[in-house]
Structure 1
């Protein structure tokens, strides 16, 4: 009889995570945190653009939000979309400290959604996303409702002035 362990031995190919591209490892997302070694050297800096993008994505997921930004920002956004360049931070301003963040979000509400409810839901979604995804304490989220989008606004844009 040999002294070989009874447990199966994995081959090197089995122990590697699946790769979907040259630089990305395909792993399921988990919210568990790795224990932090308090004596480990180094810092983590999160750019304002990252926080603004997270806030913009979260705000856009709220039912009743038609668009983000004021009329000028939306006009520029339409030009960007025409050349396939979207700005996920349009209508979002953030201030980021070492452990805290604040956000100002400008939205257009889809009629007939209740404006106060949509604003409250945007505030909750943005705060939750920044806290969960970025790990910063959110001190405030200010929501400015800049406009209400009517279904007839789409019809006006689609109608041609000439036949």
Structure 2
């Protein structure tokens, strides 16, 4: 499916109004309604907005990392994010009802592109490659949809596998009482 931007502009009227321009995208066959198809396109992160619009939008790297973390946590088969030390700190934060949504996420942000590294703990017994592919897809979709930047890569590291027996606390009896 090819998106072909087509600029359109309104000319100045005799009342002294300034010219404004917008970009619409040809989304033939995508199922997007005509109102959405002609809506202005969000500009990539850290880029100046069109002339005369009065400002620039900048999205902080931590916001992109948070979006990636939320997307990864929503994938079936992901028990948690991060490695051993990060998960230990996360358990302390969890006890205090304070969750770090960027735990296990690292982003590199350019002018219009993002690269993401994510560390996950998978649930047992799920196919790890399928979970990694689903995490990759969820993060890419979230960033490209919500931020409007191209995702060049999402590297997924499976740091651990969570066993259902890990949830049962010290219910087993010790040898000595």
> Normalized against structure 1, the TM-score is what?
0.74
Any idea what SS the aligned residue of 1:38 has? coil
Q: CA RMSD in A?
A: 2.1
Distance 1:133 1:107 in 2: 22
Name stretches of at least 5 consecutive residues in structure 2 with no aligned partner.
1-34, 42-48
**1:2-58 per-position Cα deviation (integer Å, ceiling 9, x unaligned):** xxxxxxxxxxxxxxxxxxxxxxxxxxxxx9485378322422111011000000000
Name stretches of at least 5 consecutive residues in structure 1 with no aligned partner.
1-30
Work out whether 1:92 is the aligned partner of 2:97: no
Q: Which has the higher strand share?
A: 2
Distance 1:49 1:62 in 2: 20
Distance 1:47 1:70 in 2: 24
Moved runs in structure 1, 4+ residues, more than 3 A?
31-34, 160-163
Q: Which residue of 2 aligns with 1:28?
A: none
Any idea what SS the aligned residue of 1:138 has? strand
How many aligned residue pairs are there? 132
Distance 2:160 2:84 in 1: 8
Work out whether 1:139 is the aligned partner of 2:152: yes
Q: Which has the higher helix share?
A: 1
Indicate the structure whose relative CO is greater, using CA pairs within 8 Å and at least 6 residues apart: 1
Q: Which residue of 1 aligns with 2:72?
A: 59
Distance 1:43 1:148 in 2: 43
> Normalized against structure 2, the TM-score is what?
0.69
Q: Which residue of 2 aligns with 1:38?
A: 50
Q: Which residue of 1 aligns with 2:31?
A: none
Distance 1:35 1:124 in 2: 25
